Amino acid sequence: MEAISDDVLKRTHTCGQLRDTDIGAKVSLAGWVRSYRDHGGVVFIDLRDRDGITQVVFDLPAEGDQAAQAMYELARALRNEWVIAVTGKVRSRGCERENPKLPTGKIEVLGESLTVLNRSDTVPFEPDEFGSVSEETRLKYRYIDLRRPVMARALTLRHRICKAMRDVLDAKGFLEVETPFLTKSTPEGARDFLVPSRMSQACFYALPQSPQLFKQILMVGGLDKYFQIVRCFRDEDLRANRQPEFTQLDMEMAFVSERDVIGVTNDVLRAVCAAAGKSFPDEVPRISHAEAMDKYGCDRPDTRFEMFLHDVGDIVKDCEFKVFSATVAPGGLVKALAVGGGAKFTRKEIDGYTAYAGDFGAKGLAWCKIENGEFTGTPAKFLSEGVQARLREVCSAGEGDILFFVADTPANTNKILAALRLKIAGDLKLFDADEFAWCWVVDWPLVEWDAEAGRWDSMHHPFTSPRLTDADKLESDPGAVMARAYDIVCNGVELGGGSIRIHDPQLQRRAFSLLGIGEDEAAEKFGFLLDALRYGAPPHGGIALGLDRIVMMMVGAPSLRDVIAFPKTQRGVCPLTGAPAEVDDKQLSELDLKIIVPPE
């Protein structure tokens, strides 16, 4: 390939910029050949860069003009995804050749010089045809996938959102401070990624699940207002929308209460929404954890539509339908979901919902339709008129509605009906796809009972402060202790969570002990935090927002992988680089590690 002079690389515009007001201008563009059409006498090239597409035209030159002839021949030889630089004049396409779908669709550039900057082998897929290849292939050739305008738009918006976050926080006096990646196990409750240390034999670093302890220590260090757009690592089984490494906007502030953290977060989210061209409410509704569980069956309520769940245990506890009454007595939960107009559901649709509920662990799905003033469906004949009347009243159900019932343990009943509520609302289109409904979930319990492990577990993490008026119940009635924690939820997706922290080492010890973390374990795992709390820790609190998830919502993308430049697959693999991969023996021996492959 010939040497390329620097001048050829100088661009006057991007491929998304030119408009009819530029007609007559001499311009230089560079980019990738998105498509070529040779109409015998005229060659059309769609030239693409991150910013857009511009049509470039090479006309058959007058006979005898050898330089122009050579350029024309070169234009005819161009193939998809070759990289070229073009100089030429902007001209109108004329009404009948305009492309209203492209912002540059009114103009084209008449090529006057053309340089091939690089050729491309035949690509494994055209960026525009990404839908015809597997995601694995798209991720393997991510550099081609990234040429799709949608990807460029997503990453551009991601950048704008990060900038908006930084601008708001900078204006409020926050400092962005980096915290270590090679660190000790951190306490978000997931599995750690471990990194063996070469210099300390048989010792490992853990990649941080979040900067939680460091940001608290920054507060003890007097940094006052901290934030960081930071990568976190959690070695979890990757459900549909999780990544082993993901990005958080992490914040911590000293001398604050819940109200302050929520206020700052609202301001950040308002700026994020503005950057994405969306509005954000002046007042974000707050809902207690108890109310969320009661009405929505989950702690991240989708508040775009109502269709609440109703606890009907009291109404059905003595009824003759044993599935209901036998559940209530031993502490189970019977709840109903009333679907307006649902009596129209066919048998097949109801069977479909029963199967759907089954995926979430339902042993069955009882239902009653209200038709011609009467209850129909299996339980109907076991429900007295009085019970039926009270069900209608409590569920605000009327003629033409259907009631779905689940009777199970409280956790299962809520899980199943919460999922069914979302499914039915989606099917009935009870909300617009581009609608945003925000809410803060507040008043969380500090701990929940983990029956399997037989111990109390943090609802948030072990550094969350109990409500101070509840602190005396830490030992006597832990389940009744409320936490100073808050979650921000949008459209049923948890976008972030945080809390006011414990800043008193004595209280922190009691919290550890409640969680079954004894003195020795606390000293070994979190001794450095306990030490720091002894030396003048200010009251402090913070929050972390999931950046990938926020960008995904703002872009309206179906997957986190659509808003991360180099994501991993659901098996935690990077198809581009092939990570994770085996390492050679020398690397292993330097680390004093030996791989023992278990026998088949």
93 vs 191, beta carbon nearer ligand ASP: 191
208 binds ligand ASP, rule: CB under 6 A: no
Task: Please identify, among the stretches 144-152, 278-286, 447-455, 536-544, the one whose residues bind ligand ASP according to the rule CB under 6 A.
Answer: 536-544
33 vs 253, beta carbon nearer ligand ASP: 253
Residue 353, phi then psi, degrees to nearest 5: -70, -35
210 binds ligand ASP, rule: CB under 6 A: yes
542 binds ligand ASP, rule: CB under 6 A: yes
212 binds ligand ASP, rule: CB under 6 A: yes
Number of residues that bind ligand ASP (CB under 6 A): 9
345 vs 463, beta carbon nearer ligand ASP: 463
Least spacing, CB of residue 187 vs ligand ASP, in Å: 8
Cβ-in-10-Å burial (0-12, 13-18, 19+) of 554 comes to buried
CA distances from 305 to 285, 310, 424, 438, 487 (A): 14, 15, 11, 12, 19
Least spacing, CB of residue 89 vs ligand ASP, in Å: 55
Which has the closest alpha carbon to 54: 106, 5, 94? 106
Least spacing, CB of residue 527 vs ligand ASP, in Å: 19
- Residue of the chain from 543, 554, 555, 560 that contacts ligand ASP (CB under 6 A): 543
What is the C-alpha to C-alpha distance for residues 557 and 154, in angstroms, rounded to an integer? 9
544 binds ligand ASP, rule: CB under 6 A: yes
Dihedral angle sign, alpha carbons of residues 357, 571, 232, 246: negative
What is the C-alpha to C-alpha distance for residues 202 and 193, in angstroms, rounded to an integer? 15
244 binds ligand ASP, rule: CB under 6 A: no
Residue 85, phi then psi, degrees to nearest 5: -120, 140
Task: Please identify, among the stretches 31-39, 63-71, 497-505, 583-591, the one whose residues bind ligand ASP according to the rule CB under 6 A.
Answer: 497-505
Buried/exposed code over 332-360 (b: 16+ C-beta within 10 A; e: otherwise): bbbbbbbbeebbebeeeebeebbebbeee
498 binds ligand ASP, rule: CB under 6 A: yes
327 vs 499, beta carbon nearer ligand ASP: 499
Place of tokens 């559901």: 345
210 vs 228, beta carbon nearer ligand ASP: 210
Task: Please identify, among the stretches 111-119, 270-278, 538-546, 569-577, the one whose residues bind ligand ASP according to the rule CB under 6 A.
Answer: 538-546
Least spacing, CB of residue 499 vs ligand ASP, in Å: 5
CA distances from 60 to 36, 68, 88 (A): 15, 8, 15
Least spacing, CB of residue 239 vs ligand ASP, in Å: 16
Least spacing, CB of residue 355 vs ligand ASP, in Å: 34
Partners of 408 in the β-ladder: 333
Q: Contact, 187 vs 206, CB < 8 A?
A: no
46 vs 188, beta carbon nearer ligand ASP: 188
478 binds ligand ASP, rule: CB under 6 A: no
145 vs 192, beta carbon nearer ligand ASP: 192
466 binds ligand ASP, rule: CB under 6 A: no
| Type and span of the H or E element at 149 | helix 149-171
Q: Parallel, antiparallel, or unpaired: how do β-strands 286-288 and 438-442 relate? A: parallel
| Type and span of the H or E element at 270 | helix 258-275
Q: Parallel, antiparallel, or unpaired: how do β-strands 225-233 and 204-206 relate? A: unpaired
Least spacing, CB of residue 544 vs ligand ASP, in Å: 4
Least spacing, CB of residue 211 vs ligand ASP, in Å: 7
| Residue with smallest beta-carbon separation from ligand ASP | 210
419 vs 544, beta carbon nearer ligand ASP: 544
Work out the angle between the directed axes of helices 212-220 and 519-534 (0-180°, nearest 10): 40
CA distances from 345 to 125, 458, 516 (A): 43, 42, 50
- Residue of the chain from 81, 188, 302, 548 that contacts ligand ASP (CB under 6 A): 188
**Under the rule (CB under 6 A), what is the footprint of ligand ASP?**
188, 210, 212, 497-499, 542-544
